Chains A and B, each alone.
Chain A
Amino acid sequence: MEKNSCRAECAISLLPVLAVAALGGVFTLVGKEPILVFHGAIMALSGALAALYLFRKMLAPPAEIPLEYNDKIIRAAVIMILIWGIIGFGVGDIVAWQLAYPNLNFDLPWTNFGRLRPVHTTAVILGFGGNALLATSFYVVQRTSRARLAGQVTPWLVFWGYNLFVFLGVTGYLFGVTQSREYAEPEWYADLLALLVWIGYFWIFLATLARRAERHIYVANWYFLGFIIAFAMLHIVNNLSVPISLEYAKSYSLFTGVQDAMTQWWYGHNAVGFFLTAAFLGMLYYFLPKAANRPIYSYRLSIIGFWGLVFTYMWAGSHHLHYTALPDWVQVLGMSMSLILLVPSWASVFNGFFTLNGAWHKLRYDPALRFMTLAVLFYAIATFEGVFMALKPVNALSHYTDWTVGHVHAGALGWVAFITIGSLYKLVPWVWHREGTYSRRLEAWHFWLALSGAVIYVGAMWNAGITQSLMWQTYDANGQFVYSFMDSVDMLHPYYVARAIGGLLYLVGFMIGAYNIWLTINPPTPAEIPSTPETRPLPASGVVAQPAAQPAE
């Protein structure tokens, strides 16, 4: 049995923790804006609590590390997925209703559309999506390495630090603290916190891989690793900025104008590419074959898909800036690379679908597998559509319209959230040692609500977007416009109502799912399966206990 003290790990972790606490303390003392003082106090408090926790760990006698996978951290992240999911989808639906009935803005600072919209995107992408990735990557890396998660305290610091980062972001926007960088709106101090968290995440992942008992690193982990590394690069470069002082939250970007545009969309597009795509593909590569109980269709396709994605995505960001003041040569590179990107994207689609060969019948009674399968379908649609929209002539139509929003949510609702939900329905029983979810019928309800919600949403936005762009471009025989801008706004109302209803269905479905998961965790009639060697897949012989005996590399 391995005994371990936390001296080194705790001592090293103490540095960033104290730094966060100190920065928070300074804000609390000198801050001139209430929101900054509030953020400072929260940072100081969390830092102090974390430091206390570290001190206690350091002074405690060496503890026994249980011969088990670390599933506690995963359980915590699952709860956060549900919380951020409900917040994110809820706010998404609120802003959807605001566009249909603008009086719902209430004309207050903290309830208006411009401030709530980033709350939605951050809560769903970083909150819901980020916690889903923490949970599943920690789960997958342990199982596919047959090793316990590295670190005694770092996973917890990462988990709490990450959620604090999202919390600072979201509450900041409500009070006007934002950098306005899409999907990276949190201000510089939150960005710094995120950077520290990310270093910890990277270390955990690598150290866990290092103690693996498998010779090869499984594909899912390539994707998770790619996501962690790429996002670190993106995050650091995109957020370079000059704070105006410690008394105010405001900072200015180090980049200006056209360079800033390219940097932001290099980030923004690859936030899609690595956060919303690569990492969720990691999820797919584990949970789909597990749920279908089938081997991955093609190892070689995995390789092409992975490296193609990692290389090509990074070139495509400029398709968000077609026909703008960004120089043509960058636009053309973005367009052409987007085209090439279809191939590695669909490599994963093929691998997903054909992995189901021999398991299609399971779709009939397993809603979780249905979620995953539909996720692959939506992924196929979103990537195909994305490539199409990246062509300049098509983008001339789609850009600035709701077509883009439709595309986003085909990816977001159909791919990101579906694969997460499907995986959750598998993962929750596994980490809580249950035979299955509380109710498959509720799973099925969730599935049909989510599917109809997504289809209504995406359909409405496609129609709205295409109508909009056609109205903007229609000339009469004399070369004069046939519609004014407001004409196109007036036309949108029914589509916006439909979208908001679709979003509501989606939200209700998710709440049913959360209820189902809650009852799976806390069953009305407790029936926990005892933790026997069979349910605890870590080999009892103790591969983990002697990591040195089995050199992994």
Chain B
Amino acid sequence: MGKLHQMIERNSIVLVLMITIVASIGGIIEIAPLFTIQNTVEKVEGMRVYTPLELAGRDIYVREGCYACHSQMIRKLKTDVDRYGHYSLAAESMYDRPFQWGSKRTGPDLARIGGRRSDEWHVRHLKEPRKVVKGSLMPGYAFLADTDIDPQRIALSIKALQWAGDPYTDEMVKEAAKDAIRQASPDMDDAESIKERYGEKVQIRDFDGNPARVTEMDAMVAYLQMLGTLVDTKALRAAVKAQRQAAESKPAGKAKEVAAR
């Protein structure tokens, strides 16, 4: 050991090369196969890209650092599943750039918060958390309700995401700025046209209780209300069960085949 190492430590270039090689191995073996092993991200029904308004909400979620207190990852543990619902699937964050799984639960997990609260509750809670939940540690975000969204920026975002590989169609890109407004303006004539692009499940309504404006609060609540609602986990569980049963009956079948031969 001594002799060999004396060589390394006398030559800075060798040292640099050695470090580079030794330090690269772990990352390559752990990250590269995540792109090639097929079932890393399961195929599930219902996943779709974010609508422009939801994406705007997500950007605000990132901007405000909500992930510092909230996880969006229900672990494969009984306690997590009992409290927050079906464990999170890799597919459910397949359009998340960056991911928002978080590492701290100062507040509860939000992976499946969609539909569990009313819009009105969200708005009030975001404005003054301690007025609604005694003992909450959450900061107030009343300013969201005073700030309009920037449709032009959202359109640029959607375009960038399409470039990065998310399955936004050209029509989605073209309509992005308007779709952002449409989703929070049910009274607009062509509001429903979003559904043609993003599917029937898209929630179209004024989220912040202020129909006159499309604010960051609209975007944030639209985002929160769709979290965890895309994949039907009940159907999924049934499918998994069926698959397992099929798999369990198979080996026996195979054995028979072999025996027959």
Contacts and interface: CB of A to CB of B under 8 A. Distances in A.
Considering residues B10, B11, B40, which has the most beta carbons from chain A within 10 angstroms of its beta carbon? Answer: B40
Among the interface residues A181, A242, A325, which one has the most CB atoms of the partner chain B within 10 A?
A325
Contact of A490 (B40, B104, B135): B135
A399 B103 contact: yes
A481 B166 CA distance: 40
Interface stretch (A12-20, A61-69, A400-408): A400-408
A245 B2 CA distance: 54
A8 to B, nearest CB: 21
Nearest to B143: A109
A198 B152 CA distance: 35
Interface string B164-189: 10100000000000000000000000
A225 B16 contact: yes
B157 A244 contact: yes
A262 B93 contact: no
Interface in A78-109: 98-99, 102-103, 105, 107-109
Interface stretch (B31-39, B199-207, B221-229, B247-255): B31-39
A501 interface: no
Interface in B201-255: none
A146 interface: no
Interface in A307-353: 307, 310-318, 320-327, 330, 333-334, 337
A38 B65 CA distance: 22
B258 interface: no
A337 B130 CA distance: 44
A324 B101 contact: yes
A393 B142 CA distance: 40
A190 B256 CA distance: 64
A365 B161 CA distance: 61
Nearest to A487: B135
Contact of B163 (A242, A253, A323): A242
Contacts, number: 257
Interface of B: 1-2, 5-6, 9-13, 15-16, 19-20, 22-27, 29-31, 34-35, 37, 39-41, 59, 62-69, 71, 73, 75-77, 79-80, 82-83, 87-108, 128-130, 133, 135-143, 153, 156-157, 159-161, 163-164, 166
28 contacts: A107-B128, A113-B68, A117-B68, A178-B62, A178-B65, A216-B6, A216-B9, A225-B16, A233-B20, A244-B153, A244-B160, A250-B157, A260-B99, A266-B26, A266-B30, A300-B1, A303-B5, A310-B19, A314-B24, A314-B26, A323-B75, A324-B88, A325-B92, A327-B39, A396-B75, A404-B104, A486-B135, A489-B137
Given A99-B106, A242-B161, A315-B30, 15 more contacts: A98-B139, A103-B130, A108-B143, A112-B65, A176-B63, A178-B62, A179-B62, A216-B6, A264-B98, A310-B23, A313-B26, A327-B39, A330-B30, A396-B77, A486-B133
